[in-house]
Structure 1
């Protein structure tokens, strides 16, 4: 595994941890509302992290 791939794996792992960590910051009601389509603080934070994840996936592997 080259350095670029290792960095990508580390960034994706960190991103996943941040996404999972949102569950400890926001209430079940906030999460459920966001899943139902309501825009709230949870949905905004999740969108930011999902955008970050897409940027990580787009990084070159070499």
Structure 2
């Protein structure tokens, strides 16, 4: 690989890594925060909310 190709590859990999970090960083915090809301102790509601979050992120991901 030429230096230009290597730089482009590293840049693209870093953008993708930051995107994935941003997507999955919210999940552990969400579990703690969900306990403060009505129905937050119900595991099925929390699981549904997390599933919907993942579905929306998948649908709205920019190609």
What TM-score results when the alignment is normalised by the length of structure 1?
0.50
Unaligned runs of 5+ in 2: 1-8
Matched, 1:29 2:37: no
Match of 2:51 in 1: 47
Larger radius of gyration: 2
| Aligned equivalents of 1:48, 1:13: Cα separation in 2 | 18
| Aligned equivalents of 1:4, 1:48: Cα separation in 2 | 28
> How much does 1:8 deviate?
1.0
Structure 1 segments of 4+ aligned residues over 3 angstroms from their partners: none
Q: How many residues align?
A: 48
Unaligned runs of 5+ in 1: 35-39
Higher relative contact order (CA 8 A, sep 6+): 1
| Aligned equivalents of 2:12, 2:54: Cα separation in 1 | 20
Q: CA RMSD in A?
A: 2.7
Match of 1:7 in 2: 15
> How much does 1:48 deviate?
3.9
